């Protein structure tokens, strides 16, 4: 202050300026640290795995209808969380399990992709050695005709058995509108056959006219009375 006490001395003005500069520097350091911490938190959040629903499980689902024989692309599927009780035991969980593979049966939009719905070794899992998977046109497929069912196949002309007691691996059925996913003249079954059965079915199919199919008779599940 001057002698009359009305104004600060140059020394005090200089100290006050230095203090203000120091405070500003501290604020800038704190702001920079806060911004860095925020950026780190955002980065970690982006890199962290997506949290699933409580008790849920991430699975691959299709985002559009796929016909049997379609090669699955990355744009056809996505990974979503589904409640555990709604996920099939064979539901696939990674894009690598699905992309580039061929569907064994038609798959509807939002369905979970399972190993049974794709062509590959899993389609014949549990079948006797030497079994082959063969897709055949059929006249109709009822609700009881599903993967795992045992069926007999008959020709439409003579009513002769083309194959008996064979396991259904996959089903291609009409949609609710009555049309087939991906087109086609008739529903299809993919069944497990030995080589002799496959040869017999091929001969039966050769005698059918275009658009015709085999007749399916579903056998009762093992352990149930006729």
Q: What is the pLDDT of residue 55?
A: 59
34 pLDDT band, cuts 50/70/90, is confident
Please give the structure tokens belonging to residue 212.
Answer: 């015709």
Rounded Cα distance between 3 and 196, Å, is 120
Q: What is the pLDDT of residues 166-186, one digit of tens each?
A: 998 888 766 543 444 444 446
State the residue for tokens 């699975």: 59
User: Residue 207: CA atoms inside 13 Å, Cβ hemisphere, count?
Assistant: 13
* Residue of 123, 203, 136 lying closest to 169 (CA atoms): 123
| β-strand pairing of 77-83 with 56-62 | antiparallel
Average pLDDT on 69-75 reads 88
Q: What is the pLDDT of residues 114-136, one digit of tens each?
A: 887 887 767 787 888 888 888 88
| β-strand pairing of 150-154 with 161-172 | antiparallel
- pTM score: 0.51
143 pLDDT band, cuts 50/70/90, is confident
Beta bridge partner(s), residue 138: 214
* 145 contacts: CB under 8 Å, gap ≥ 6: 151, 168, 171, 173, 189, 216, 218
88 pLDDT band, cuts 50/70/90, is confident
* Residue of 130, 17, 117 lying closest to 72 (CA atoms): 117
């Amino acid at each position: 202050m001057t002698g009359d006490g009305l104004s600060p001395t140059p020394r005090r003005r200089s100290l006050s300026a230095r203090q203000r500069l120091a405070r500003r520097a501290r604020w800038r350091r704190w702001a920079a640290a806060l911004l860095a911490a925020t950026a780190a938190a955002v980065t970690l959040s982006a890199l962290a795995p997506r949290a699933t629903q409580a008790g849920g499980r991430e699975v691959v689902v299709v985002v559009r209808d796929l016909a049997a024989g379609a090669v699955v692309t990355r744009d056809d599927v996505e990974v979503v969380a589904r409640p555990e009780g709604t996920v099939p035991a064979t539901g696939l969980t990674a894009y690598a399990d699905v992309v580039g593979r061929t569907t064994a049966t038609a798959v509807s939009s939002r369905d979970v992709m399972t190993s049974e719905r794709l062509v590959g070794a899993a389609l014949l899992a549990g079948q006797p050695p030497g079994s082959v998977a063969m897709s055949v046109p059929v006249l109709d497929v009822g609700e009881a005709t599903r993967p795992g069912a045992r069926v007999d196949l008959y020709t439409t002309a003579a009513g002769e058995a083309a194959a008996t007691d064979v396991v259904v691996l996959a089903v291609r059925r009409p949609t609710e509108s009555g049309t087939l996913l991906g087109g086609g003249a008739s529903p299809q079954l993919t069944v497990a056959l030995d080589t002799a059965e496959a040869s017999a079915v091929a001969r039966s199919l050769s005698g059918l006219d275009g658009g015709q199919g085999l007749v399916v008779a579903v056998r009762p599940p093992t352990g149930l009375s006729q």
